[in-house]
Amino acid sequence: MSMGKTGTSRAVQWQDVPPPGIGMRDWRHPLESAGQTKQTPNKWQAVLGFVVFSIIAGILCTVAITPGLAMTGMTARQTVGIFQGLPGAIQIGQLPQRNRIFANGPSGPVQIATVYAENREADAWDKISPYLKDAAVDGEDKNFYTHGGVDVPSLVRAAASNVGAGSVQSGASTIAMQVVRNIQTEDALQLKTVSERKAAYKAATEGTLSRKLREMRLAIGISKEYSKQQILNAYLNIANFGGNNYGVEAAAQAYFSTTALKVTPVQAASLIAIVQDPSVRSLGNKANYKANETRRNFILGRMYSAGDITKAQYESGKNTPVDAKFLNPSSVRSGCLAAAVSYRWICDYTVNDVDNLTQLGKTKAAREAAWAVGGYDVYTTFDTQLQDAATGILASLVPADETRFNFGGAVTTIEPGTGHLLVMAENKTYDDTLNGGGYTATAVNFNVDRNNGGSSGFQPGSSYKLFTLLEWLQQGHKLTDSFDASVRSIPMSSFTACGKKLGGPAYTFKNDENEQGSTTILQATAHSINSVFLQMASKLDLCDIRDMAQSLGIHNANGQPLSVLPSCVIGGCDNSLAPMTLAAAYAAVANQGNYCSAVAVEKLVGPGGKNLGAQSGNCHQAIPANIANTAALALQGVMKGGTGSAANPNDGNAFLGKTGTTNNSLHTWIVASTTKATSAVWIGNISGTQQLRKISVGGTLAALIRHKVFRAVMSNVDAYLGAAPAFAAADPSLVKGGHSFGSPPGSSGLPPPAAPPPVVPVPVPTP
Is the per-residue pLDDT at 135 higher than 60? yes
Q: What is the pLDDT of residue 35?
A: 36
CA angle 689, 693, 699 (to 5 degrees): 115
- Split at pLDDT 50, 70, 90, the class of 61 is low
Q: Mean pLDDT across the stretch 147-166?
A: 67
**How would you class 89 by CB atoms within 10 Å of its CB: exposed for 0-12, middle for 13-18, buried for 19 or more?**
exposed
The yes-or-no verdict on residue 50 having pLDDT over 90 is no
- Residue 758: pLDDT band (50, 70, 90) is very low
Residue 763 pLDDT: 41
Of the pLDDT bands very low, low, confident and very high (cuts 50, 70, 90), residue 216 is confident
Provide the pLDDT for residue 764: 38
Q: What is the mean pLDDT of residues 704-715?
A: 98
Tell me the per-residue pLDDT of 379-402, one tens digit each, with 9 for 90 and over. 999 999 999 999 999 999 999 999
Q: How sure is the predictor about 58, in pLDDT bands with cuts at 50, 70 and 90? A: low
> What number is the average pLDDT over the span 747-759?
55
DSSP 498-534: TTEE--SSPEE---TT---SEEEHHHHHHHT-HHHHH
Q: Is the pLDDT of residue 9 over 90?
A: no
Q: Who wins on pLDDT, 434 or 599?
A: 599
In this predicted structure, which of 7-16, 203-212, 271-280 has the lowest mean pLDDT? 7-16
> What number is the average pLDDT over the span 195-218?
76
SS (H, E, C) 640-661: CCCCCHHHCCCCCCCCEEEEEE
Cβ atoms of residues 343 and 390 within 8 Å: no
Query: Does pLDDT of 2 surpass 50?
Result: no
Mean pLDDT of 18-46: 39
pLDDT for 80: 47
pLDDT (average), residues 305-315 = 97
CA distance 120 to 13: 12
Contacts with 675 (C-beta within 8 Å, 6 or more apart), sequence order:
416, 590, 591, 654, 724, 725, 726, 727
- From 63-72, 483-492, 638-647, the region with the lowest mean pLDDT: 63-72
**Span 659-677, mean pLDDT?**
97
pLDDT, mean over the chain: 85
pLDDT per position as a tens digit, 413-452: 999 999 999 999 999 999 987 666 789 999 999 999 999 9
DSSP 603: E
Q: Which residues contact 64 (CB under 8 A, 6 or more apart)?
A: 83, 84, 148, 217, 220
d(CA 613, CA 626) in angstroms, rounded, equals 33
Residue 315 has pLDDT above 90, yes or no: yes
Least confident range from 161-175, 454-468, 513-527, 584-598: namely 161-175
Q: Which residues of 315-330 are buried (b: 16+ CB within 10 A; e: fewer)?
A: eebbebebeeebbeee
Q: What percentage of the chain reaches a pLDDT higher than 90?
A: 68
pLDDT confidence of residue 163: 52
Q: Residue 438: what pLDDT? A: 85
pLDDT, position 156 = 65
Write down the CATH superfamily of domain 43-318: Biosynthetic peptidoglycan transglycosylase-like (1.10.3810.10)
* Residue 165 near residue 265, CB atoms below 8 Å: no
Q: How confident is the model at residue 620 (pLDDT cuts 50, 70, 90)?
A: very high
Q: What is the reported pLDDT for 600?
A: 97
Is residue 195 over pLDDT 90? no
Q: What's the confidence (pLDDT) of residue 200?
A: 75
Q: What pLDDT does 332 receive? A: 60
Q: Where are the domains of the chain?
A: 43-318, 461-598+616-696+726-749
Residues 6+ apart with CB under 8 A from 44: none
Half-sphere exposure of 340 (CA within 13 A, CB side): 14
- Rounded Cα distance between 49 and 246, Å, is 34
State which fold the 461-598+616-696+726-749 domain adopts. Answer: Beta-lactamase (3.40.710)
Q: Residue 246 pairs with which residues in a beta bridge?
A: 240
Give CA–CA dist 733/740, Å, rounded: 16
292-302: average pLDDT: 97
750-758: average pLDDT: 46
Provide the pLDDT for residue 127. 96
pLDDT of residue 662: 96
